[in-house]
Amino acid sequence: MLKVNDPAEKPQPSHFCTIKRDVITPIIGVTLLCAGIIDAFYALAADRFNVAHFLKIIAYLILLTGLILNYTYTHRELKRVNDQLCQEINDRDRIQTNLQASAAQAQIKLEQLEQTLQELQTNQVQLIQSEKMSSLGLEFVIKITDQQ
C-alpha cells in the first residue's frame, strides 16, 4: 500500500544512508584496531611486551568482536530489506499483470457493448421504417375503402 507523506512528519533517513554509515564505520574501526593489534604484537616481538600490551590486545579484540557483530547485524538487515524489496517488486509485477488482464477484458466488453448498441440502433431504424410503411399501408387501405 502506498503511504502519503504527511508534511508535518519528520523525514526519516533512507535505508541507504543508515547502511552506508553502518558499513563504513566498522571498516574504519577495523583498520584502527588492526593497527593497534599490530603495534602490540611488535612490542611482543621486540621484548617490550608487558601486561598493558596484553590488555590492549584484549581490548582491541573485544572491539573487533563488536564490529564483527555489527557487520553481521548490518548484513542481516540488508538481506531483510532486500527480501522486502524483492517481495514488493513481485507483488507489483503480479498486480500489473492482473491490471493488464482486467484492461483487456474491459476492452473486449466495450467492443461487445458498442456492437450491441450499433445493432440496436439499426433495429430501431428498421422498426421506425416498418412502422412508417405499415402506417402508410393503413392509410392507403383506408383511402381505398373510403373511395369504394
- Interval 120-148: pLDDT, tens: 999 999 988 888 887 777 777 777 777 76
Domain extent at residue 53: 15-108
Q: In this structure, is residue 82 part of a structural domain? A: yes
Q: In this structure, is residue 144 part of a structural domain? A: no
Q: In this structure, is residue 51 part of a structural domain? A: yes
User: What is the number of structural domains in the chain?
Assistant: 1
Q: What is the DSSP string of 88-114?
A: HHHHHHHHHHHHHHHHHHHHHHHHHHH
pLDDT digits (tens, 9 = 90+) for 78-102: 999 999 999 999 999 999 999 999 9
Q: In this structure, is residue 5 part of a structural domain? A: no
Residue with cell 493488464: 100
Q: In this structure, is residue 48 part of a structural domain? A: yes
Query: Which grid coordinates are listed for 37?
Result: 593489534
pTM, to two decimals:
0.47
Q: In this structure, is residue 60 part of a structural domain? A: yes
